[in-house]
Amino acid sequence: MAPQRPGRGHGVSKAVRVHPRSLKRKRDEDQLEELSQRVASLESRPSTPYSLFTELPLSQATQVGLTKSHFKTLTAIQAQAIPAALQSKDILGAAKTGSGKTLAFLIPVLENLHRKQWTEHDGLGALILSPTRELAIQIFEVLRKVGRNHTFSAGLVIGGKPLQEERERLSRMNILVATPGRMLQHMDQTAEFEIANLQMLVLDEADRIMDMGFQGTVDAIIEHLPKERQTLLFSATQTKKVSDLARLSLREPEFLSAHEDAHSATKS
């Protein structure tokens, strides 16, 4: 409590007690506002190459997750993709295997939902499609590591478990990492599956998803998704058929490609 000042006249000073919880809420709101402003201001200098994760407008939770996972310097594709994706742009990113594409989409997924103050009540916010179960598991592991200080719920939808068992957990998830076939199965069969709120769709290894004959499945999944969303598409090869782009309904995507070695701090 602040010391009482000697009263002027008959003045009775009123001490307003601020509840600690509302103080914290105010502080969180201020931080979020500042973060959003920093993200918006990335726009004015889009060609500035970022080198360290600490230079990026990322939440404290993500910064801590990255530090604990010993990620410090951005790879080339991360330096190109993360700033654009943070600004909700659609992306078509190509960079060879081992160049760090996973974080290039996972960080924007965490951050964009964080800035939207996504909670368990908002349902599925991001869907990440991967061509194989093994790759999906790898993505999920990175998400768990880097996202450990966030409160989002995240799940894997790759089959191998009874549909019913997966289904019960699905409705509570904010972020899903899935294989296309299993995801579509749920969308077709799970009545209560809520995807109207979806903010982000990610296709990792998009070239392989297409090569493996998942075109029809991906088309059908997209039919279920809201049109107003951000789409991030990553692949190891650069050439994408125009027909594939039309199918994914990207909105004026940023075409990004990086060919430097993994782990190299980018100056491209």
The residue ranges that bind ligand ADP (CB under 6 A) are 71, 73-75, 78, 95, 97-103, 262-263
Q: The dihedral of CA 69, 74, 78, 83: what is its sign? A: positive
Measured N-to-C along each axis, helices 101-115 and 76-86 cross at an angle, to the nearest 10 degrees, of 20
State which residue, 142 or 265, has the beta carbon closest to Mg ion.
142
Element (H, E) at 230: strand 230-235
State which residue, 94 or 158, has the beta carbon closest to ligand ADP.
94
Name the DSSP class of 73.
B
Query: Taking the complex as a whole, how short is the minimal distance between the CB of residue 232 and ligand ADP, in angstroms?
Result: 13
State which residue, 66 or 170, has the beta carbon closest to ligand ADP.
66
State which residue, 75 or 112, has the beta carbon closest to ligand ADP.
75
Query: Taking the complex as a whole, how short is the minimal distance between the CB of residue 71 and ligand ADP, in angstroms?
Result: 5
Q: Where are the beta strands (DSSP E) in the chain?
A: 91-95, 126-129, 154-157, 175-178, 200-203, 230-235, 254-258
Question: With CB cut-offs between 5 and 8 Å by kind, which of Mg ion, ligand ADP, none does residue 198 bind?
Answer: none
What single-letter amino acid sits at 228?
Answer: E
Binding residues among 98-127 for Mg ion as defined by CB under 5 A: 101
State which residue, 172 or 263, has the beta carbon closest to ligand ADP.
263
In 3D, which of 51, 77, 52 has the Cα closest to residue 67? 52
Question: With CB cut-offs between 5 and 8 Å by kind, which of ligand ADP, Mg ion, none does residue 98 bind?
Answer: ligand ADP
Strand order in the sheet with 175-178: 154-157, 175-178, 126-129, 200-203, 230-235, 91-95, 254-258
How far is residue 236 CA from its own chain's centroid?
A: 20
List the x/- string, 73-102, binding to Mg ion by CB under 5 A: ----------------------------x-
Question: With CB cut-offs between 5 and 8 Å by kind, which of Mg ion, ligand ADP, none does residue 78 bind?
Answer: ligand ADP
Question: With CB cut-offs between 5 and 8 Å by kind, which of ligand ADP, Mg ion, none does residue 74 bind?
Answer: ligand ADP
Task: Identify the bridge partners of residue 256 per DSSP, sorted by sequence position.
Answer: 93
Question: With CB cut-offs between 5 and 8 Å by kind, which of Mg ion, ligand ADP, none does residue 105 bind?
Answer: none
Question: With CB cut-offs between 5 and 8 Å by kind, which of ligand ADP, Mg ion, none does residue 226 bind?
Answer: none
Token pair of 111 as six digits: 């951050």
Question: With CB cut-offs between 5 and 8 Å by kind, which of ligand ADP, Mg ion, none does residue 99 bind?
Answer: ligand ADP
Query: Taking the complex as a whole, how short is the minimal distance between the CB of residue 126 and Mg ion, in angstroms?
Result: 16
Query: Taking the complex as a whole, how short is the minimal distance between the CB of residue 65 and ligand ADP, in angstroms?
Result: 13
* CB-based contact 257:227 (threshold 8 Å): no
Query: Taking the complex as a whole, how short is the minimal distance between the CB of residue 109 and ligand ADP, in angstroms?
Result: 13
Token pair of 268 as six digits: 């491209």
Query: Taking the complex as a whole, how short is the minimal distance between the CB of residue 99 and ligand ADP, in angstroms?
Result: 4
Measured N-to-C along each axis, helices 163-170 and 180-189 cross at an angle, to the nearest 10 degrees, of 80
* CB-based contact 145:69 (threshold 8 Å): yes
Which stretches of the chain bind Mg ion, using CB under 5 A? 101
